[in-house]
Amino acid sequence: QLKLVNPSQYRFEHLVTQMKWRLQEGRGEAVYQIGVEDNGLLVGLSEEEMRASLKTLRRMAEKVGADITVLREREVDYDSDVPRKITEVLVRKVPDNQQFLDLRVAVLGNVDSGKSTLLGVLTQGELDNGRGRARLNLFRHLHEIQSGRTSSISFEILGFNSKGEVVNYSDSRTAEEICESSSKMITFIDLAGHHKYLKTTIFGLTSYCPDFAMLVVSANTGIAGTTREHLGLAMALKVPFFIVISKVDLCSKATVERTVKQLERILKQPGCNKLPLLVNTDDDAVTAAQQFAQSPNITPIFTLSSVSGENLDLLKVFLNILPPLTNSKEQEELMQQLTEFQVDEIYTVPEVGTVVGGTLSSGICREGENLVVGPTDDGKFLRLKVCSIQRNRSACRVLRAGQAATLALGPFDRSLLRKGMVMVSPEMNPTICSVFEAEIVLLFHATTFRKGFQVTVHVGNVRQTAIVEKIHGKDKLRTGEKAVVRFRFIKHPEYLKIGAKLLFREGVTKGIGHVTDL
pLDDT digits (tens, 9 = 90+) for 145-158: 555 555 567 788 88
What pLDDT was estimated at residue 299?
A: 93
Does pLDDT of 172 surpass 70?
no
Q: 393: helix, coil or strand? A: coil
Sheet holding 29-34, edge to edge: 29-34, 84-92, 67-76
Task: For the beta carbon of residue 39, count every other beta carbon within 10 angstroms.
Answer: 5
Percent of the chain with pLDDT over 90: 23
Does pLDDT of 97 surpass 60?
no
Return the higher-pLDDT residue of 446 and 483.
483
282 touches 317 (CB < 8 A): yes
Contacts of 138 (CB under 8 A, 6+ apart): 116, 119, 120, 150, 154, 156, 190
Element (H, E) at 10: helix 9-25
What pLDDT was estimated at residue 140?
A: 60
- Choose among 466, 470, 483, 371: nearest CA to 426: 371
pLDDT band at 434 (very low <50, low <70, confident <90, very high): very high
Does pLDDT of 32 surpass 70?
yes
Peptide bond before 375: cis, by omega within 30 degrees of 0? yes
Task: For the beta carbon of residue 374, count every other beta carbon within 10 angstroms.
Answer: 21
**Torsional class of 234: left (φ above 0), alpha (ψ -120 to 50), beta (otherwise):** alpha
Mean pLDDT of 158-183: 76
Q: What is the DSSP letter of 162?
A: T
What pLDDT was estimated at residue 146?
A: 58
Q: What is the mean pLDDT of the chain?
A: 84
Mean pLDDT of 85-101: 76
Single-letter amino acid, residue 457: V
Domain with CATH 2.40.30.10 in the chain: 329-424, 432-517
pTM: 0.76
Task: Please write the tens of the pLDDT for every residue from 231-253.
Answer: 888 888 888 999 999 999 988 99
The domain defined by 9-93 carries CATH number 3.30.110: yes
Does pLDDT of 264 surpass 80?
yes
Return the higher-pLDDT residue of 136 and 83.
83
What CATH code is assigned to 432-517? 2.40.30.10
Contacts of 398 (CB under 8 A, 6+ apart): 364, 365, 366, 367, 389
Task: Please write the tens of the pLDDT for every residue from 389-399.
Answer: 888 777 788 88
Task: For the beta carbon of residue 134, count every other beta carbon within 10 angstroms.
Answer: 25
What pLDDT was estimated at residue 232?
A: 84
Report in angstroms the alpha-carbon separations of 164 from 34, 142, 398. Answer: 19, 36, 27
166 touches 202 (CB < 8 A): no
Task: For the beta carbon of residue 236, count every other beta carbon within 10 angstroms.
Answer: 18
Contacts of 24 (CB under 8 A, 6+ apart): 328
Does pLDDT of 178 surpass 80?
no
- Residue 398: strand pairing partners: 366
Task: Please write the tens of the pLDDT for every residue from 216-236.
Answer: 999 988 888 788 888 888 888
CA–CA gap between residue 163 and residue 183 (Å, rounded): 9
Does pLDDT of 113 surpass 70?
yes
Q: 357: helix, coil or strand? A: strand
The answer to whether the Cα torsion of 473, 466, 111, 281 is positive or negative is positive
- Name the CATH code of domain 101-325 (choices 3.40.1160.10, 1.20.1200.10, 1.20.1250.20, 3.40.50.300): 3.40.50.300
Fold of the domain spanning 329-424: Elongation Factor Tu (Ef-tu); domain 3 (2.40.30)
For 224-289, the DSSP string reads -TTHHHHHHHHHHTT--EEEEEE-TTSS-HHHHHHHHHHHHHHHTSTTT--EEEEE-SHHHHHHHH
pLDDT band at 319 (very low <50, low <70, confident <90, very high): very high
What pLDDT was estimated at residue 241?
A: 93
Does pLDDT of 46 surpass 90?
no
What pLDDT was estimated at residue 260?
A: 93
Residue 436's Cβ-side half-sphere holds a number of Cα atoms within 13 Å equal to 30
Candidate from 93-107, 358-372, 482-496 with smallest mean pLDDT: 93-107
Q: Chain centroid to CA 481: how far?
A: 31
- Choose among 54, 16, 58: nearest CA to 35: 54
What pLDDT was estimated at residue 107?
A: 92
What pLDDT was estimated at residue 487?
A: 95
- Choose among 419, 431, 353: nearest CA to 386: 353
Domain with CATH 3.30.110 in the chain: 9-93
What pLDDT was estimated at residue 324?
A: 75
CA–CA gap between residue 282 and residue 312 (Å, rounded): 11
Mean pLDDT of 410-426: 89
Report in angstroms the alpha-carbon separations of 418 from 344, 387, 421. Answer: 8, 19, 6
Q: 327: helix, coil or strand? A: coil
Domain with CATH 3.40.50.300 in the chain: 101-325
Task: Please write the tens of the pLDDT for every residue from 329-351.
Answer: 677 778 888 899 999 888 888 88
53 touches 3 (CB < 8 A): yes
404 touches 356 (CB < 8 A): no
What does the buried/exposed string (b/e) look like for 302-313 if buried means 16 or more CB atoms within 10 Å of the residue's CB?
bbbbbbeeebbe
Task: Please write the tens of the pLDDT for every residue from 294-316.
Answer: 887 899 999 999 889 889 999 99
Strands 462-471 and 482-489 come out as antiparallel
What pLDDT was estimated at residue 512?
A: 86
